[in-house]
Each structure stands twice: as C-alpha cells, then as structure tokens.
Amino acid sequence: MSESFITPYCISAYVICKTSDGPRYLLIRRCGPYLFGTWQMVTGGIEKGETAWQAALREIREETGLTPFKMYCADAVETIYVKTRDRVTFVPVFVACVDQREVRLSLTEHDAYEWLPLEEAQKRLSWAEQRRTIVEIHERYVLQTPDELHSVPIDSLMMIENAAVANRPQDSITIRLMNTQDIERVADLYLPWSTRQDTHARWENIIRSNSNIAERLQ
C-alpha cells in the first residue's frame, strides 16, 4: 500500500509565558484587511524549503519579536475551512515557551497584544477549533510535563542560522519593487482579500501604482 501524506501550507503557534500569577497565553489582534480585529495566536504560511516547525519559529520571531527557549510540536492538528481558497486545510499546532513578555509587533499585521489566562484567552478566540486546541495545550503542555518526544530542536536550528549569518556576504540582500511574478508567493500569505481572483487583481493594481510612482521619481 502506498503512503499518503498531506502537506500543510500554514501553522498555528501558541506562545506561553509562566508568571507568578500562573501561565499566560499571548494573543495578538489582526489589523490588516483579512480578519480585521480578530484576536489570534501566532499564525503564518510555510515558505518554500521550510518545515512546519521552522515556519512556526520564524513567524513567532517576526510577529512578536520573541524567541522561545523551548518549543513543542503539539499532538494536535486544527482543521479549518479557508474561505479565500475555498478549501479545508489541516494546520499543525506548536507550543512555544518564552520567558519574556515584551512583545514587538509587526504593525502591518497586528496592532495590539495581551497576555491572558486560559479562560480569557479561550473566550477571545473566534473559532471553536482554536478554543478546543488551547484547552488541550493547557492540559498536556502546561499542567503536565510535556513528553520530550514532542520537542522541537530549535537550538540546532539557531546554530545553523547563526553560522549562515556569519558567512553571508555583505551584499547578498537585494531590495526591489514587487512584480507580477511575486503575486503567487504573497497573495495567500499577506493581506488576502475576499477571493483569490480579487486578491490577485488588487495586488496587480498595487504593483502598477508603485511602478507609476517609481517612474515619476526617476
């Protein structure tokens, strides 16, 4: 019998900080056009060449400025319907433990954050699947000692990243205007609109506007 796998395209990461008042869960509020005003855990797309857990660590850093000291691949998967794709998808879930509470938001995506106890965090989440997941995480990764079988090797990844940064040529970064070939990479990950067609059309308008501005400045 041949093997069958489902390749995920996005992740969910629940960030936890233990305090003298008990564990607190980080929720961040969306400010972009997609799901504006909703509170959520850290989410994001998996980039080409990334594993899901690598994407989770990257998204946590990008969206919160935090670096976990411990991370687990939760024994849970969220099943959600993605309206912009008209598809049902399976989202791998991760648990990140941090010892700092000062968050640095990516202001193009989120405009507020709160550290909340379980009950308040559960009420703030918009989807039943998320509310179910956060309770399961609390029971298995906070109230109990997590099984090391679920741990993610973030130390090894950070060693590789540090080595890559140290050996990177100084002129290896190029900044350029977005072009139409970039749309497929970003359309479903950043600021998706009501439908895939609408998302593509709006990005194309933005690219044309940017090109016109650049031409006038030359």
CATH code: domain of residue 76: 3.90.79.10
Query: Mean pLDDT of all residues in the chain?
Result: 85
Name which of 40-44, 62-66, 87-91, 203-207 the model is least confident about. Answer: 203-207
| Residues 106 and 19 placed together within one structural domain of the fold | yes
| Residues 188 and 101 placed together within one structural domain of the fold | no
Report pLDDT for 101: 92
How far apart are alpha carbons 207 and 161 in whole angstroms?
A: 32
Helix (H, G, I), strand (E, B) or coil at 17: strand
How far apart are alpha carbons 217 and 207 in whole angstroms?
A: 15
| Residues 141 and 203 placed together within one structural domain of the fold | no
| Residues 41 and 120 placed together within one structural domain of the fold | yes
Percent pLDDT > 70 in the chain is: 80
How far apart are alpha carbons 45 and 62 in whole angstroms?
A: 12
Q: Which amino acid makes up residue 56? A: A
Where among 137, 154, 171 does a domain terminate? 154
**Helices assigned H by DSSP within 10-153:** 52-64, 118-124, 128-137
| Residues 75 and 135 placed together within one structural domain of the fold | yes
Res. 131: pLDDT tops 80: yes
* 27 lies in some domain: yes
Phi, psi of 56 (to 5 degrees): -60, -45
* 140 lies in some domain: yes
Q: Please report where in the chains the tokens 């980080």 appear, as a residue.
A: 26
Exposure string over 178-203, b if 16+ CB within 10 A, otherwise e: eeeeebeeebbeeebbeeeeebeebb
Looking at the whole model, is its pTM more than 0.75?
Answer: no
* 5 lies in some domain: no
* 51 lies in some domain: yes
Q: Which two tokens stand for residue 110?
A: 């989120």
| Residues 146 and 189 placed together within one structural domain of the fold | no
Report pLDDT for 202: 75
Domain count for the chain: 2
Where among 154, 188, 208 does a domain terminate? 154
| Residues 191 and 128 placed together within one structural domain of the fold | no
| Residues 194 and 147 placed together within one structural domain of the fold | no
Task: Report the largest interatomic distance among the alpha carbons of the chain, rounded to a whole angstrom.
Answer: 62
| Residues 42 and 123 placed together within one structural domain of the fold | yes
**Helices assigned H by DSSP within 65-169:** 118-124, 128-137, 154-166
Q: Which domain, by its residues, includes 202?
A: 180-217
| Residues 21 and 109 placed together within one structural domain of the fold | yes
Res. 47: pLDDT tops 80: yes
Region of 82 (left: φ > 0; alpha: ψ -120 to 50; beta: rest) is beta
Sign of the CA dihedral running 196, 199, 203, 209: positive
Report pLDDT for 162: 57
Mean pLDDT of the region 123-138? 96
Query: Of residues 54 and 210, which shows the higher confidence score?
Result: 54
Res. 205: pLDDT tops 90: no
How far apart are alpha carbons 212 and 206 in whole angstroms?
A: 10
* 172 lies in some domain: no
Res. 7: pLDDT tops 60: yes
* 95 lies in some domain: yes
| Residues 60 and 97 placed together within one structural domain of the fold | yes
Residue 64: exposure state from Cβ atoms within 10 A (0-12, 13-18, ≥19): buried
* 57 lies in some domain: yes
Phi, psi of 100 (to 5 degrees): -125, 150
How far apart are alpha carbons 92 and 72 in whole angstroms?
A: 11
* 92 lies in some domain: yes
Q: pLDDT tens across 143-199, in order?
A: 999 999 999 988 766 655 555 555 556 555 667 777 777 776 666 555 555 566 777
Please report which confidence band the pLDDT of residue 203 belongs to, taking 50, 70 and 90 as the band edges.
confident
Query: Of residues 33 and 18, which shows the higher confidence score?
Result: 18
| Residues 64 and 150 placed together within one structural domain of the fold | yes
